[in-house]
Structure 1
Amino acid sequence: MLLTASGCGGTVKWSDGQTGNSVTVSPKQSTRMSATCTNGGQTSNPSNNVLIQVGLTTSPCNTNVSVTAPISNVGSKYQSSNTITGSASIEANASVQFKGQNYVQLNPGFQVKAGGVFKAFTGKCTELQTRQVVGGLQFLWEILWRPDNFIWMTERGGKISRVNPQTGAVQALLTILHIYSDGEGGLLGMVLHPSFALNPFVYVTYNYNPPQGPREKIVRFTYNSANNTLGNAFVLLQDISANVYHNGSRLVITPDLKLWRCIKCNAASPS
């Protein structure tokens, strides 16, 4: 990285010891740089600090990690949900961190060469990790995380399901048969009653297609935890204007237990 100072009629000295109006720095870890100006025997106060942020390439959060090969890449972070053991050498151009949830163990052969930077500490893996939970879904619309630690979701074709986020197993709760899912319609928003343990109600909004043309309705179902099904359909509101396009619809229950519905413009054409 190139750092440049201006406005000094004398000699610029940087906090890393370099001199000159412009210097190139390659820190191995995040650091702050400042500069002073010496002119006519007088030296100024240090300038405002400039933060140089060095990113780390982070490993996946595996259970046990063993690092044995020499590490020469600048900015490497190894993490583990249990332990990390190391017997590698940290080369002069490397900045390395070991983070193990339970402990970090440095075995014979581990060394940090002059100019290398190494840190070790304990703690949980905190970096965001991504993985596919479940695939093969058709026009997924609503996704809710519920206190039962399952994902509840709707698919526009009419299916309501629960998903185990650990295993990806899908439990189909209900498939609504009279869904009108042409264009941008179908089974859309869903919300669960805030006191679900006492009132196991699931509210959904979806399109249907009577003779007069596309309409939308809001229906309440009751969840049966014994067999993981939804039943006892109760229509709260129906014959709501709808169309082929712009049917995006969401449901929200506010703290005063009012059910709110928002919808797009129900345009007659995709404009």
Structure 2
Amino acid sequence: MFELQTPAAQSPVRTVRPRSPWIGAQTHAPQARLRLIAFHHAGGNAGFFVPWVRYFQAMDWIEFVAVQLPGRGRRLGEAPYDSLEPLMAAVQQGLEPLLDRPYVLFGFSMGAILAFELALRQQQAQHRRPAALILAGRGAPRTQPPAVQRGAFSREKILRELERLGGTDPALLADGPFMEVFMRTFQADFMVADGHHCPQAQTLQCPLHVWGGADDPEVPIERIYRWDAFSGQGFAGRLFPGDHFFLKSAHAAAMDNLMEILEKARRVQ
């Protein structure tokens, strides 16, 4: 939900100046053969991926880009999107310059919806498809939206939902003025996330990898493996120890698996 700070004991994070408001962070790899584009979770921002920037910044064969959605970070003054269709139209247009070379899409939680939809729309438009799609912390789409959608929750219920999911500092949840600033973004993100559904499975023509947290209260394990129905070029599901924010608690294991996927995507280009 807020920009992560670089620990003083670790090397500083070096990024290039963003070329677009949609780029929240980007490593400098002008000769990269592959680009990894990552979408953050509901209520989050590109700062969630600061550890990833640090991880990739010394690699010259891959460029890492963390997407920044409106309503947070440097784009705090912009209204967040509360509907998927206009958001995806803006995402596809905003990220088009980044799809000029082989790329892999990664999405966490709500970001998994955006990564999935971008891959699907690229395919439907017969544009360059991702070399791989990696989705984390999100179950396969339902055929209909849920009857109860969190975007309509009261402020108090949204705070309880954020506490249930974890990943947000309890001190920030208790900070009334701070939460007031971001409440509109939380509500809009929940409307996007909960409104996503697919009446029938759409087959993706790219390798599909789906990660889940073994103790995630938000995503039942069986919904992780239901993504198999959307795969036309191979599916791999994997569980990591941890809750909804297992990308933090199981960071090393997740990065090891991510590198395996990226190395394979690199070889087939």
**TM-score w.r.t. structure 1 length?**
0.21
Give 1 or 2 for the bigger CA radius of gyration: 1
State the structure with bigger RCO (CA 8 A, min sep 6), 1 or 2: 2
